[in-house]
Structures are given as structure tokens and as C-alpha cells.
Amino acid sequence: MRSPIRAVSIEELRQNAKKKLPKCIFDFFDGGAEDELTLLANRQSFKDTQLTPRILRGVEHIDTSVDLLGQKCSLPIAIAPTGALGYGNHGADLALARGAAERGLIYTLSSSATTSIEQIARLAPGRHWFQAYILKNKDFFYSLIDRAQAAEYEGLMITVDLPVGGKRERDNKNKFAIPFNLNAKVALDFMTHPIWLAQLFANGIPVLENMLGLEGEQRSINQLASSVGRNYDPSFNWDDLKRIRDYWHKKLIVKGVMHPQDAVRLLELGCDAVVVSNHGGRQLDTASSTLSALPAIVKAIDGRIPVLLDGGIRRGSDILKAIALGAQGVMTGRATLYGAVSSGDAGASHALSILQDELVRTMQLCGVSQISDIKSDLIFNREHTQ
């Protein structure tokens, strides 16, 4: 069935979300830390990486499937954890989970989602990972892990790049809070987005479902955006991660890895996969792009566990470039988020369709018919042309 959404690119889905959402909410999803240099670098690295296509390879039939952590996925894509999506569109978490399930992809639920661990498992059955932020309240933290275990999530993702929250200046300038601080600027922002406002009245203010009951629960979007923060534990260290590894007996994935030495230590600790990620440019500004960090981590891991790349994916060609540089797959955050918050289930599915179509087309134009054919020789290297 043809999608009712006319967007032909992820950028058009982004523009749809920008039109639908109040500025303060769009900025929360779209923005990065400080000058947003790392946010921009994630995209620029893909733009600066050129391809060297091969010809006459016979590319009538394309297979985009790949094995990720022991099971086949139809695409080398997993949905990254993204929090507070219900502020953009009621049910957006479920929309992403359903879109992933339809294609046999992995969906990662954020600790700060507006849909609970149990609701995702019940309403969008499929391959699920649960992403846990490290909380000071360890009893509550481990209770989340227990809930994910009981709901039969196959993987636990620990995000390690958030000892403190990044300085997200868009969010600070908007001064948006929940309960809503209806100053004249915010009220006008809301009223000029009637579809979003009507949905809010119909469904009520979203709740961070998995954080209910946590002492000192964050109630300000500004606090959430800049630190989800008071409840996060900056003392968390390697010994603490080892305790989690011993506690959780399924797949353990660590997200937020940017240094090859850290990747090797995670491998030695017994982690099942690492995700090269700078939190989408939302934490340490001027950190390197993830695509730039990827090759050294891939070299250090040397194929012993999967390496996924997160950050800056907007095109099917980006996926091919990441795989050519050694990633087993990518995680999409904003790319699929834009579809879900602008158009719910249809938008989430359409975002994945765009990426799938572009990946197939890029593979054909590069002369590769399956993911395992994507090698580093597809990346243009000026030295090899001289």
C-alpha cells in the first residue's frame, strides 16, 4: 500500500515535524549541545565521505538482510532509544516499535520514554532492547532491569556518555517546563500549532512512564533536556558496569563509545556489542563525529563483537558508508523520530521505507548485491587514485 505521506527524504519528514510541533518541543528533539558543532559534524562526516562505485556487477536482486546479535534483520538498522516522544505525538514510541516489528528490526526503548516497558512488549511484539540510564537510586535502576527481563527484552543497553547532562542551549532559551509555564511566548507557540494542541487536550500531558515512582522525578522539559540529570549517577564506573554484566544474563550493549581503548575494555568485560555514539551531538560539543571515530574502534575490536554506529544517519548512502567503514549496522534516532512525531505509525513506517529504498538504490549504484559485499574499497581514497 502506498504511504499517504508525500515526503521523499528524511529532511522532508524533519520539516513536517518542524511545522507540526511548537518550537520549544521541536528544538528539544532536533537540538544539540552548546554551539552544536558535533551535531553538525555527524552529518558533515557523511557528506564529506565519497563513494567509489563498482560497475557491471549484476545488481538486479538486492539482499539488505544482516545478522545482528544472533538473529536476522531485514535491514542493517536498529531503532535507537529516544526519550519523551509523547510530547511530540501521542503514541510515537509505539509507532516506532511497530514500524521496527513490521520489518523484523530491533527497537530500543528509552528509560525516559512515554510508553512503558510492558506496553511496548504487549502492543508491539518483536525484538526489543531496553536502554537504561544510570540512576543514583540503584534499587529503582535494577527494578527497571528486572521489568525488562520479565517482559522478555532480549538486550539491555547501557548508555555511558551521560555522567552529567550536556548544555543544550536551545532548550535553555525556550524555558519550557512541565507543568506548562504558559508565558506569552510559549502560549503563542502552542496556539499557532492547533493540531498538536488538540492532540494534547485529547490525550493529556504525557508521562515518563518508566520513571514513575522515582524519587525526585524530573518535571521540567528543560531539566530533562539538559540533564535528565539530577537522578543520574556521575560516580558510575567500570566496576559498576561489571556488576550489571553479572546481573543481566542476556545481551548487553554499551552505547556512547568513542575511544578504541574503551571499546577493547568493554569487549574484555563481556559486553556483546558496542555502539559508537556521541549522543547525537547532545552531550560533549566538539567531540568528534561518530563516523570519524568508527574505523579506529572497528580495528581495535577486530570482529570479535558487533560494532554499531549511531549519529547523523539521514540517507541510505550513510548506512552503506558506515558498513563500508566496518560497522555491522547503524542505529537511527532522529531520522525515524521525525516520522513518528509528525505522522505517528505511518510516519515511522515511511521513514524506514525511505531509508530502505535509498539503501537498495545506493547498493545497486555501487555494484553490491548483499550487505556482506560492502567493503572499504567503496570509500573513495584520494591516495589510491594517484
Cell readout for 216 is: 525526585
Bridge partners (DSSP) of residue 78 are 106, 331
> If we measure between CA atoms, which residue out of 207, 194, 223 comes closest to residue 93?
207
If you ran DSSP here, which 8-state letter would residue 51 be given? B
Catalytic residue among 259, 279, 350, 384: 279
b/e code 286-304 from CB counts within 10 Å (16+ = b): ebbbbbbbbbbbbebbeee
CA distance to 22, 74, 130, 243, 380, per residue, from 29 (Å): 11, 27, 20, 32, 33
> If we measure between CA atoms, which residue out of 250, 61, 257, 289 comes closest to residue 159?
257
**Nearest-5° Cα angle at 378, 375 to 380:** 135
Q: CB of 146 within 8 A of CB of 139?
A: no
Among this protein's residues, is 90 annotated catalytic? no
What pairing do the DSSP bridges indicate for beta strands 307-310 and 66-68? unpaired
Cell readout for 91 is: 503514541
Amino acid found at 253 = I
Q: Is the dihedral of CA 249, 75, 126, 26 positive or negative?
A: positive
Residues in the chain: 386
Amino acid found at 81 = P
If you ran DSSP here, which 8-state letter would residue 80 be given? P
224 vs 112: CA distance, rounded Å = 9
Catalytic annotation, residues: 279
